[in-house]
Amino acid sequence: MGQSVDVKVVGNYAYFSYDSFGVVCYSMADLIAPLPEGIEPTEVWNKDTAGNLVYDYRPVAVSRFKLQLVPGYEDWAGGAVQNGLHPCQRQSHFLRGLCRGRRC
């Protein structure tokens, strides 16, 4: 299971980079929405001992990027390691992640 290694908030969206698979974007409204009574913010989903999902209150992603889903990169390893701004043709463009690309 991957873990988030960086987050970048741009306007009404938060971009989380994960070490195992790429970048996931959530709306800020979904991230700050109240949880049901009795659900702790650090325990928004749970599986039983057999691995079946008991409950899941995680927000639905607005978008996702995974390098291995791009044609030609299916057998590459790596995930996103950071978010940031990158100067490109004298403009700043938001990079949604830098991938550790290497063939498996």
pLDDT digits (tens, 9 = 90+) for 5-49: 788 888 999 988 877 777 888 999 999 999 999 999 989 999 999
**Strand ranges in 3-101 using DSSP code E only, listed in sequence order:** 4-10, 13-18, 22-27, 45-47, 53-56, 63-65, 76-77, 84-88, 91-95
Residue 87 dihedral angles phi and psi, to the nearest 5°: -70, 125
pLDDT at res. 91: 47
pTM for the predicted model, two decimal places: 0.68
Helix (H) or strand (E) holding 103: strand 102-103
